């Protein structure tokens, strides 16, 4: 779970570099959401070792 939080935090930091003024660029925001859902789904379905 900690790993997931670190990955999501890194994605958010990367997207801050693409802000235009105070608005998100829509494509980057959608890409962020897709990656977030993918990471969350893989973390949930991954077996604990």
Domain boundaries, given as residue ranges, for the chain: 2-44
Residue 28 in this model has a pLDDT that exceeds 60: yes
- Kindly list the distances between the CA atom of residue 29 and the CA atoms of 14, 32, 38, in Å, as whole numbers in the listed order: 11, 5, 14
pTM of the complete model: 0.38
Model confidence at 44, pLDDT cuts 50, 70, 90, reads low
Three-state DSSP state, 30: helix
CB 12 within 8 A of CB 32: yes
CB 8 within 8 A of CB 36: yes
Model confidence at 4, pLDDT cuts 50, 70, 90, reads confident
Q: For residues 24 and 4, which has the higher predicted lDDT (pLDDT)?
A: 4
């Amino acid at each position: 779970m900690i790993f997931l939080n670190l990955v999501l935090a890194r994605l958010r930091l990367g997207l801050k570099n693409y802000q235009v003024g105070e608005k998100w660029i829509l494509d980057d925001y959608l890409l962020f959401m897709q990656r977030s859902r993918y990471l969350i789904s893989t973390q949930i379905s991954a077996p604990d070792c």
